[in-house]
Amino acid sequence: MVVTFQLGDHLHLKKGHPCGTNDWEVTRLGSDVALRCAACGHRITMIRSELERRIKQVTSSPESAKDKTD
């Protein structure tokens, strides 16, 4: 299963961050994906295939939804 997401999208992951949230923002795309924690701002890099297994839900940001319609 291929999960599509873009810069600025918010992801809800299965496993929680130690600060207590499961929500992350996509800050960089490539074979590795950079994420920023929505609660504390901690940044991590994860291999795309591993990230795709951990995603529960993808929520598009208003900016990326606007880019899709233009």
Which pLDDT does position 60 carry in this prediction?
79
pLDDT value, residue 66:
53
Rounded average pLDDT over 25-43: 94
Q: Which residues contact 16 (CB under 8 A, 6 or more apart)?
A: 22
Residues 6+ apart with CB under 8 A from 43: 27, 34, 35, 36, 37
Please check the confidence at residue 6 and state whether its pLDDT lies above 80. Answer: yes
**Is it the case that residue 65 has pLDDT exceeding 60?**
no
27 vs 3 pLDDT, higher one: 27
The pLDDT value given to residue 1: 62
How confident is the model at residue 47, as a pLDDT? Answer: 94
